[in-house]
Structure 1
Amino acid sequence: MVTKNNVVAQAAQASNAHQTAETSPSGSPSNLAYFVGAWQLNRQILQSSGEVFVFEGQADFSWAESDLHYHESGVVTAPDGRTLQAERTYVWRQQAGGKIEVLFDDNRYFHTFSAAEPYAKHLCGDDLYVVSYALEDGPRWESTWQVKGPRKDYKMTSLYQRA
């Protein structure tokens, strides 16, 4: 149930989380609170053929109970200049030891990472997804996915900057 007190508490929590993240000596997130809010998202998808797709948009992290809901939306530009709207949603959960569990929007497990172990793998059929996170640049972070398999072969780099 959403109440005025819940909304005020969440706003204060998000504000405090942003301040903590901004002033963290290492600039590295230690928990979900670091990610709360809006991020400008720029992504490059380099196909094994050499073709490059570009995504420009925004990623928003917002609390829903104790989970953080991630929603991205924007425009993908293909190598031939065609554009299309794109969006994706995930659920992020805080785990013990500073680990963050990422779930698909239907709550199926995707992967787990942390600032101490900023990498993960996910097998989807015969396609292997390997991610590494660069979380050390304060209000800016990056994820790089290398995807290989019979159906997919690309490298996707996403840069997130506070909006």
Structure 2
Amino acid sequence: MTVMLRSEDFVGLWQLSRVITDRLSDQAGTLLGTARFDSVGAGALAYEEAGKLRFGAAPEMEATRRYHWQFGQDAVDVHFDNGAAFHSFVPCGHAQGTDHPCGDDFYQVRYDFTNWPVWQATWHVVGPRKDYVSVSRYWR
């Protein structure tokens, strides 16, 4: 039986590890940091991640990202920090998110909540100047 996760299940601080495999440059990147979910209303979460990103032999740099998650009856709607829609997904089991076209680029995500409270998001991104896979793993 697969359990639907609720906004409260995500609230708090998470460890974050990300591996980015760039097929165009034939390089790999890693990010180590944290992700924090704060409740900002009924079923609404503010997501903020911060970490150290290293890509190939380049110097390490600070990386941050912010999103807004809104839990509805059947899905989570994810928005960029500026309020623009990003994607939606069902927070349980193996969950394919909705696709996100962005100009000439195309983003697809799949979530895996089967080992909760360890979970991950895998992004496949393709476009004229992009061809990479990003796997983010979260744990308490």
TM-score, scaled relative to structure 2: 0.91
Alpha-carbon distance in 2 for matches of 1:59, 1:42: 10
- Moved >4 Å (runs of 4+): none
Q: 1:90 to 1:65 in 2, by over 3 A?
A: same
Identity score, percent:
35
Q: How far 1:40 sits from its partner (Å)?
A: 0.3
Q: 1:1-150 maps to which residues of 2 (within 5 A)?
A: 26=2, 28-48=3-23, 49-66=25-42, 67-97=44-74, 99-114=75-90, 115=92, 118-120=95-97, 121-150=99-128
What is the CA RMSD across the aligned residues, in angstroms?
1.5
Gaps of 5+ in 2: none
Alpha-carbon distance in 2 for matches of 1:109, 1:118: 18
TM-score, scaled relative to structure 1: 0.79
- Relative to its length, the structure with more strand (as a share) is 2
Preserved CA contact (<8 Å) 1:44 1:156:
yes
Alpha-carbon distance in 2 for matches of 1:116, 1:56: 25
Residues 5-32 of structure 1: CA deviation (Å, up to 9, x unaligned): xxxxxxxxxxxxxxxxxxxx75x55221
SS in 1 for 2:129: coil
Q: 1:135 to 1:78 in 2, by over 3 A?
A: same
Preserved CA contact (<8 Å) 1:29 1:135:
no
Give 2:89's aligned amino acid.
F
Larger CA deviation: 111-120 vs 148-157: 111-120
- Relative to its length, the structure with more helix (as a share) is 1
Which of structures 1 and 2 has the bigger CA Rg? Answer: 1
Larger CA deviation: 124-133 vs 30-39: 30-39
Gaps of 5+ in 1: 1-24
Q: How many residues align?
A: 136
